[in-house]
Structure 1
Amino acid sequence: MTTLDPALVVLDKDGVRLTVEDAVATVTLTNPAKRNAQSPALWRALTEAGRALPGSVRVVVLRGEGKSFSAGLDRQAFTEEGFDGEPSFLDMARGSDEDLDALIAEYQEAFTWWRRNDIVSVAAVQGHAIGAGFQLALACDLRVVAEDVQFAMRETSLGLVPDLTGTHPLVAAVGYARALEICATGRFVHADEAERIGLANLVVPAGELDAAVRDLSAALLAAPRDAVVETKALLRGAAGRTYEEQRAAERAAQSRRLRDLAGLAD
C-alpha cells in the first residue's frame, strides 16, 4: 500500500514548491537539471511562497533538489534576449535610475522574508551554492550543509556586486575582512572552512542532510513559540543597539514574557 505524503502543497510554480506539514514549511527549488539556477520568475515565486505561509508555521526549511542547492543566476539573464517576458540585464541597464532601483528591489524581496521574527529559517545546502545561490542560503537564519558544499560569491568576477541582500549576513557571519576576501576573489568556501568561520551551523555527510535538518527543526519547535520570537528579535536587533539599549530591550521583552506566563498580558 502506498502511504500518502501528509505535507500540503501550497505552491508549485516556476521552479519553487512550498509544502507545509504542521508547524514546518519546506521551500524546495525544483529545477535540478539546471542546478536550480535562478531567474526573475523564480524570485517572484519565492516572494509568493513567503506571503503564502500559514500563520501556524514556525520553521521554514529551504532546500534544492538534485546535486546542487543553487548554482546561481541563470546565465540567460546576460544575453540580449534574456528570459521570455522579462527584461534582460542589458534592458535593465538602459532604463532610468528609478526603474532600475525598483526592479532590483523587487528581486530582493525573494531574499528578505526568511529572517522574519515569527519564523526560524534553515537552509539545507549541498553541492554548489554560488552567487545568488550563496545569497539565498545567507538569507536564512541557519545553515546545515553537506560535506560536498561549495559556497562562492562570483558576482565581482562578472563585473557586478552581490545585490540580493547577501552582503549584510555575510559580514555578520564572518567579519568584514574575510567577507571582502571571499567576494573579491570569488573563491570556493568548502564545508570545513564554512563551519569554522561561521557560515555553517552544522556539517554532515550528504546522505544525512535531510535527517539533520529534521532533527534541528524538531529542536527549534521544542521551546514555546513566543519565547523564540522574542529571543530572535533581541538577537537580530543587538548589532544596531548600544549595550545599554540592548539591556533595555531585554528587560522589555522579559516583562512581556513574564506577564504572558502569568496571564496578565494585554
Structure 2
Amino acid sequence: MTQESVPTTEELATAGVRLEIHGALARITLARPERHNAMTGRTWTALAHIGHTLSRSVRIVVIDGAGASFSSGIDLAMFDPAGGLPGEQSLLQRLLSESDDSATHASLDADIASYQAGYRWLRRPDIVSIAAVHGHAIGAGFQLALACDLRILAEDAQLSMREPALGLVPDLTGTKPLVELVGRSRAIELCLTARTISAREAHELRLAELVVPNAELDGAVTDLVDALLATPAGAARATKELLGQAGENSLEEQAAAERAAQIERLQAMAQRLPE
C-alpha cells in the first residue's frame, strides 16, 4: 500500500463513487444514478486513487452501477464551452482560454493520463476485476467494463462505443482490449458506427463471459467471486501474470516464463513445509 491516504467516503461521494471492502473483496459502485452514472474527471481520478491505496489483501474488485444503468459514459458537461461542471473548467474552455498551444497540449496530455490511471490498475496481476453490467454501458462506461478482466452482463445490458459519433476517440484504454477481444475489423465497425450491442451479441463477440437475467446478476457475481477466491492467491497472481504476457511472447519465451513461474511456486510451497 502506498503512503497516499485512502479516499474518504465524502471525497468519493463528490466524485460519484462508492467503495465497500469486505475482506478480500472490494466493490466499487458508480453512484450518480440521477445522471445514469455519467462520469467526470473527478470520477476517474477517484478510481485511480482507490487503485493507488487499495489494501494488498484485496484480491477481487467488482465494479457495478447504481440505478438503471452501469454508466452512460462521459458527462458531456466536460465539453461545454459555456460552462462545465461545478469546480471544474470544461476541456473546451481551457482550449479557448489558453494561448500557449504546447503548454495546453502538455496539460491535457497529463490530465488524460491521470484519467486513464483510473482504468489501468484494474489489470494488475494481484487482483481479478469484474464488471457487473446492467442497462447502458456507453463510451467511457463501455471502456470501464473493457478494463476489467471479466464481464458479467444482465440481459438488459446495452454497450456502445459512442466517442467517434461525438467527434472524439476512445481514450480510456478501451481500444486495445476491444481489438484483442473482437478483432480489428469488428472493432472498426463497432466504433465508427457507434451502434448499440445487445447482451446476447456481446456474448457472441466474446465481450462478456456470462449473460444472466437481471434478477440473477448479483448471484452470478457472488458465485464467480467465490470460485476465484478458492484458488490460492499466489497461484492466481502468477497465472494471471503468465496469461497477460502470452499474447506478446513467442512460444519459446512463454515456455521459459512458465518454467520460471513454476519454479517460484514450487519454492514457495517448499518454504511452507515443516522441516
The alignment's TM-score, normalised by the length of structure 2, stands at 0.90
Summarize deviations over 1:60-93 as a string: whole Å, max 9, x none.
0000011100000111112121112223121344
1:131 aligns to 2:134 (yes or no): no
Residue 249 of structure 1: aligned partner: 257
User: 5 Å matches for 1:165-244?
Assistant: 165-244=173-252
User: 5 Å matches for 1:153-168?
Assistant: 153-168=161-176
Q: What secondary structure sits across from 1:19 in the alignment?
A: strand
Amino acid at match of 1:163: D
User: 5 Å matches for 1:1-266?
Assistant: 11=9, 12-13=12-13, 14-80=15-81, 81-94=83-96, 96-263=104-271
Q: For residue 264 of structure 1, report the CA deviation from its aligned partner.
A: 7.9
Q: What secondary structure sits across from 2:20 in the alignment?
A: strand
C-alpha distance in 1, partners of 2:207/2:94? 32
Cα RMSD for the two superposed structures: 1.6
Q: Residues 220 and 92 from structure 1, CA distance in 2 versus in 1: closer, same or farther, beyond 3 angstroms?
A: farther
Greater shift, 177-186 or 94-103, is seen at 94-103
C-alpha distance in 2, partners of 1:89/1:228? 41
C-alpha distance in 2, partners of 1:223/1:111? 25
Amino acid at match of 1:90: L
Q: Residues 264 and 92 from structure 1, CA distance in 2 versus in 1: closer, same or farther, beyond 3 angstroms?
A: farther
Q: Residues 245 and 92 from structure 1, CA distance in 2 versus in 1: closer, same or farther, beyond 3 angstroms?
A: farther
C-alpha distance in 1, partners of 2:254/2:266? 18
Contact 1:130 1:153 in 2 (8 A): yes
Amino acid at match of 1:224: P
Amino acid at match of 1:70: S
Q: What secondary structure sits across from 2:271 in the alignment?
A: coil
Structure 2 unaligned residues grouped into runs of 5+ = 1-6
Q: Residues 179 and 251 from structure 1, CA distance in 2 versus in 1: closer, same or farther, beyond 3 angstroms?
A: same
Aligned length: 257
Q: What secondary structure sits across from 1:262 in the alignment?
A: helix
Q: What secondary structure sits across from 1:263 in the alignment?
A: helix
Q: What secondary structure sits across from 1:25 in the alignment?
A: strand
C-alpha distance in 1, partners of 2:95/2:173? 20
C-alpha distance in 2, partners of 1:68/1:171? 25
Q: For residue 165 of structure 1, report the CA deviation from its aligned partner.
A: 0.5
Residue 3 of structure 2: aligned partner: none
C-alpha distance in 1, partners of 2:206/2:94? 35
C-alpha distance in 2, partners of 1:19/1:125? 18
Contact 1:39 1:74 in 2 (8 A): yes
Amino acid at match of 2:79: F
Contact 1:153 1:183 in 2 (8 A): yes
Amino acid at match of 1:26: R
Contact 2:62 2:131 in 1 (8 A): yes
Contact 2:80 2:93 in 1 (8 A): no
Contact 1:10 1:18 in 2 (8 A): no
C-alpha distance in 1, partners of 2:169/2:127? 29
Amino acid at match of 2:157: V
C-alpha distance in 2, partners of 1:46/1:180? 28
Q: For residue 110 of structure 1, report the CA deviation from its aligned partner.
A: 0.9
